[in-house]
């Protein structure tokens, strides 16, 4: 069962520009709908709400389930809304409890297409074709319409925005993302990777963002290990990897607890250092020292 992060949408009239006017949420005493918006007038709940747990998620998502589980999935409530009497005029609304702000943000940014217009739903939302999504707090919401008829798209957007409206949580990115330097950071490029950062099984995951400086693009990253010894071991394994597949160009002794510069055939020129429990680095540009230094200072204040 999902945690109670979502509050019932108030039974006030909501202006909705489709189908010729206003839509009034339908009142209901069904406690099973406590985590889903009430059906707008002219619509009905055709199926659900249906609950999925980590054990049953594969029944719904099949091969997509591991992505959500990696980000901390705790529960899913799915509801299918039908417009009028047409069974092929529906919106499926999925409300995921991801267990943490970082998990909800991570799923959202992983799935979100790169070039989309950001909507003011929750902390951030978008619609791309027949799919819309948003997140806030530990909740990630995704809806999908049966097709792109205007009235269905409007219903999709209304349901996604309504589902996130009562969710509690800061109206900002997770603190792990806020630790990144702001100068030169490309808006919307921030991501959280749940595991195997850059494909390395010995890195537990981490935070990544792109930066632009004098037309050079660098990707800054950091990962947090359980302890200083584990962080040192991870740095050593990165060095071994670059010695085998790339080139270790020089040792770094004036940042953090030391590190090295490298050239990687896939990532380009880069650098990586350790400081206490963190492994911090950048790649794609040879001029990323300032970003790495600033991130180290920010992490020291956490």
Give DSSP secondary structure letters for the chain: ---S--PPPPSS-EE--STTSEE-BPP---GGGTTSPPPBTTEEEEEEEEEE-TTTHHHHHGGGHHHHHHTT--EEEEEEEEETT-TTSEEEEEEEE-SSHHHHHHHHHHHS-SS-PEE-SSSEEEEETTEEEEEETTEEEEEEESS--HHHHHHHHHHHHHHHHT--S-SS--HHHHTS--TTBPTT--EEE-SSGGG-TTS--EEEEEEEETTEEEEEEEEE-SSHHHHHHHHHHHHHHHHHHSEEEEEE-SSTT-EEEEEETTTEEEEEEEETTEEEEEES-S--HHHHHHHHHHHHT-
User: Is the distance from CB of 8 to CB of 34 less than 8 angstroms?
Assistant: yes
261 pLDDT higher than 90? yes
Higher pLDDT, 41 or 227: 227
How far is the C-alpha of 43 from the C-alpha of 185, rounded, in Å?
Answer: 43
pLDDT, residue 286, reads 62
Provide the terminal-to-terminal Cα distance of the chain, rounded to the nearest Å.
Answer: 33
Model confidence, pTM = 0.83
State which fold the 175-301 domain adopts. Answer: Protein Transport Mog1p; Chain A (3.40.1000)
pLDDT, residue 227, reads 96
The pLDDT of 195-202, averaged and rounded, is 92
The pLDDT of 207-213, averaged and rounded, is 93
User: Is the distance from CB of 124 to CB of 134 less than 8 angstroms?
Assistant: yes
- For 2-165, CATH number out of 3.30.310, 3.40.50, 3.40.1000, 2.30.30 equals 3.40.1000
Mean pLDDT for the chain overall: 86
**One fold for 2-165 and 175-301:** yes
Domain definitions of the chain by residue range: 2-165, 175-301
pLDDT, residue 278, reads 97
Q: Of 79, 28, 76, 81, whose CA–CA distance to 56 is shortest? A: 76
The pLDDT of 122-132, averaged and rounded, is 96
How far is the C-alpha of 262 from the C-alpha of 282, rounded, in Å?
Answer: 10
Q: Of 272, 275, 277, 243, whose CA–CA distance to 257 is shortest? A: 275
15 pLDDT higher than 80? no
Where residue 22 falls (left for φ over 0; alpha for ψ -120 to 50; beta otherwise) is: beta
28 pLDDT higher than 50? no
* Residue owning tokens 């707090």: 137
The pLDDT of 10-36, averaged and rounded, is 37
Strand order in the sheet with 90-97: 43-52, 75-83, 90-97, 139-145, 131-136, 124-128, 118-119
Q: Of 16, 108, 14, whose CA–CA distance to 67 is shortest? A: 108
């Amino acid at each position: 069962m999902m945690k109670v992060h979502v509050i019932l949408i108030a039974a006030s009239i909501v202006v909705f520009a489709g189908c010729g006017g206003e839509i009034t949420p339908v009142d209901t005493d069904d406690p099973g709908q406590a985590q889903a918006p009430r059906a707008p007038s002219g619509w009905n709940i055709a199926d659900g709400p249906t609950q999925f747990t980590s054990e049953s998620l594969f029944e719904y998502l099949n091969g997509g389930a591991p992505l959500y589980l990696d980000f901390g999935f705790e529960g899913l409530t799915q509801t299918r809304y039908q417009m009028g009497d047409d069974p092929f005029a529906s919106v499926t609304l999925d409300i995921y409890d991801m267990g943490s702000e970082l998990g909800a943000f991570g799923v959202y940014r992983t799935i979100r297409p790169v070039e989309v217009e950001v909507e003011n739903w929750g902390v951030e939302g978008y619609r791309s074709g027949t799919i819309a999504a948003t997140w806030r707090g530990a909740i990630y919401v995704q809806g999908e319409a049966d097709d792109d008829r205007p009235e269905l798209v409007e219903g999709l957007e209304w349901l996604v925005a309504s589902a996130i409206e009562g969710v509690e949580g800061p109206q900002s990115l997770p603190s792990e993302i806020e630790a990144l330097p702001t100068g030169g950071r490309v808006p919307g490029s921030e991501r959280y990777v749940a595991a195997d950062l850059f494909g390395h099984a010995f890195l537990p995951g981490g935070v990544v963002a792109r930066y632009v400086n004098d037309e050079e693009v660098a990707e800054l990253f950091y990962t947090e290990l359980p302890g200083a010894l584990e962080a040192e071991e991870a740095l050593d394994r990165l060095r071994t990897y670059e010695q085998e597949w790339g080139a270790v160009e020089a040792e770094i002794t004036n940042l953090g607890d030391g590190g090295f510069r490298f050239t990687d055939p896939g990532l380009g020129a880069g650098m990586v250092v350790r400081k206490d429990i963190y492994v911090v680095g950048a790649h794609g540009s040879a001029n990323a020292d300032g970003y790495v230094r600033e991130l180290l200072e920010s992490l020291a204040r956490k």
